[in-house]
Amino acid sequence: MNVLLLGSGAREHALAWKLAQSPKLGKLFAAPGNPGIAQHARLVQIDPADHRGTVDFCLKNSVELIVIGPEAPLVDGLADNLRTMGFCVFGPNKVPAQLEGSKGFTKDLCARHKIPTARYSKASDKLGAEAALEDFGLPVVIKADGLAAGKGVVIAQTPEEAQGALEALFARGKADVVIEEFLEGEEVSFFALTDGTAIVPFGSAQDHKRVGDGDTGPNTGGMGAYSPASILTAELERRVIDEIVAPTVRALAKQGHPYSGILYAGLMLTADGPKLIEYNARFGDPECQVLMMRLENDLLDLMCSAAKGNLAESEPPRFSDEAALTVVMAANGYPGTPERGGALAGIEEAEQLGARVFQAGTAESDGKLVADGGRVLAVTASGKTLKAAQEAAYAAVDLIDFPTGFYRRDIGWRAL
C-alpha cells in the first residue's frame, strides 16, 4: 500500500520510521518532510492547503492512505476532501477536529454531556470577558479560542495579569475567549485510537512544556516526554475512557460527525478525579516519539483499521512494558527566534548506542546536516525502567555535537 505522510516534525519522523517497518507498506511519500523522514520516504512538494493538488498527487501515485500529522490541515478540512474522493485518511474531518480547533466547541460539548472539565465561561468582547472574570477566583485561566500553537493560554495569578491578558487578546477588536477555573493536580496525556465507534487505548505520556529545567521559563511545543505515565493507573485510565473519551466520541458520532484517528486528551488528575484540560486531534510532539518507540504491532494496520472503520475487529495496539523517554534538542533562541544553520554531528554514534534520533527542524547544507528550526532533534531511548530509559537517552544526547543548541537535563524528573 502506498502512503502519503504530511508533516515535517520529529513526530512525523517517528511515524515514518514505524510505518517503514510494516511489510504491507509500498511506497512512502512525505510532504514536506525533512532529512530524517527522507531516510524512510520520498519527499514530495505538495502544499496541504491545496486540497485539489493533494488529491491529484494521490490519484497519480496510487496512494491509498494519507496520514495527516499536524493539526492545521485537519482543522482546514483536508481529510473531508480526501475522504470524499474515496481515500483512506488517518485523521479526523473538519468538524470533529474542532475538538482541537476551538476551545469553546470542546467546552460546550463537555457541558452538554457532563464530561468533567474546568468550569468555564465564553466571551467575544472585552466587557463580557471582564464581567465573566468576576465569577472566577485566582489564579484564573484565559484562553484564545482558536489554534494558537500552545501560545494562547495565560494563567493569571493577579487581577492585573488577568486584565492584561484580556487587553492583549482584544487589542485587535473582536476575539473569542474562554475563561476557566484553574485546576490543581498533575497533568498527564492519554491517547485513544478510534474509528468513531470503537475506542482502543493508545498509551499515556507526560510532556515537559516549559523551556527550562525544573519547569521554568516560557512554554514551548514540548521539550521532552516519557511513556508510560505511571501516575495514570489502570483504574484512572478506565475512568478517563468511560467519563471523558467515550462520551466525546459518542456525542460526535450522534451529531453525524464521527471522529476518526488519534484523540489526544490532555488531562489534569485532580482531587475530584481526572478532568479534561484540552483535546488535540493528532499525536503529540514529542509524545508520539515515545509512543512509537513502545508500539509493538504494525502501525500501518492500526491506521488503516481506524481509517476504514474496522477497529473493533482488528488486533488492538500492543505496547512494550519498557519505558521510553525523549529529550528535545532545540536551537538557541527557541521558543523565540531560533538560530538557524548550526552544525549537527554525532547522530550515528548516538544511534549506535540504541537510541533513535528523530529529526524535526533540520536541513541539508553542502551535504551536511544543520539546524533549521526551533526544535531540532528528539533523542529517544527505551529501558527496562524509566530511570534506565532516561540514562540511555542522555547518554545518546551526550554524543551529539550541537554547539548552537540546548536541551533540558531533567526530562522525567516528576516520575523519578
Task: State the binding partner of 116 from ligand AMP, ligand GLY, none, CB within 5 to 8 A by kind.
Answer: none
Task: State the binding partner of 118 from ligand GLY, ligand AMP, none, CB within 5 to 8 A by kind.
Answer: ligand AMP
At 313, is the secondary structure helix, strand, or coil? coil
At 91, is the secondary structure helix, strand, or coil? coil
- Report if residue 266 touches ligand AMP, rule: CB under 6 A: yes
The answer to whether 289 touches 222, Cβ cutoff 8 Å, is no
Instruction: Extract the C-alpha cell encoding 308.
Output: 476504514
Task: State the binding partner of 153 from ligand AMP, ligand GLY, none, CB within 5 to 8 A by kind.
Answer: ligand AMP
Query: Which amino acid makes up residue 369?
Result: L
Stretch that binds ligand GLY, among 56-64, 134-142, 278-286, 342-350 (CB under 6 A): 278-286
- Report if residue 92 touches ligand GLY, rule: CB under 6 A: no
Residue from 68, 132, 199, 277 touching ligand AMP (CB under 6 A): that is 277
Q: Which is nearer to ligand GLY, 10 or 252 (CB)?
A: 10
Residue from 92, 221, 317, 405 touching ligand GLY (CB under 6 A): that is 221
3-state helix, strand, coil in the chain (%, to 5): 30, 30, 40
Residue from 46, 65, 179, 183 touching ligand AMP (CB under 6 A): that is 183
- Report if residue 105 touches ligand AMP, rule: CB under 6 A: no
**Dist. CA 389–CA 382, nearest whole Å:** 5
x/- map, 139-158, ligand AMP, by CB under 6 A: --x-x------x--x-x---
The answer to whether 372 touches 341, Cβ cutoff 8 Å, is yes
**Dist. CA 376–CA 278, nearest whole Å:** 26
> Which backbone phi and psi does 100 adopt, to 5 degrees?
-95, -35
Number of residues near ligand GLY (by CB under 6 A) = 7
224 sits in which H/E element: strand 224-227
Residue from 9, 274, 284, 374 touching ligand GLY (CB under 6 A): that is 284
Q: Which is nearer to ligand GLY, 12 or 207 (CB)?
A: 207
Give the nearest distance from C-beta 275 to ligand GLY in angstroms.
Answer: 18
> Which backbone phi and psi does 233 adopt, to 5 degrees?
-70, 170
Would the CA dihedral through 149, 152, 153, 158 be positive or negative?
positive
Residue from 12, 207, 243, 372 touching ligand GLY (CB under 6 A): that is 207
Give the nearest distance from C-beta 61 to ligand GLY in angstroms.
Answer: 29
**Dist. CA 404–CA 320, nearest whole Å:** 35
Task: State the binding partner of 182 from ligand GLY, ligand AMP, none, CB within 5 to 8 A by kind.
Answer: ligand AMP
At 411, is the secondary structure helix, strand, or coil? coil
Instruction: Extract the C-alpha cell encoding 293.
Output: 518507540
Give which of 74, 14, 131 is closest to 378, Cα–Cα: 14
- Report if residue 287 touches ligand AMP, rule: CB under 6 A: no
Positions touching ligand AMP (CB under 6 A) are: 118, 141, 143, 150, 153, 155, 180, 182-183, 187, 209, 266, 277-278
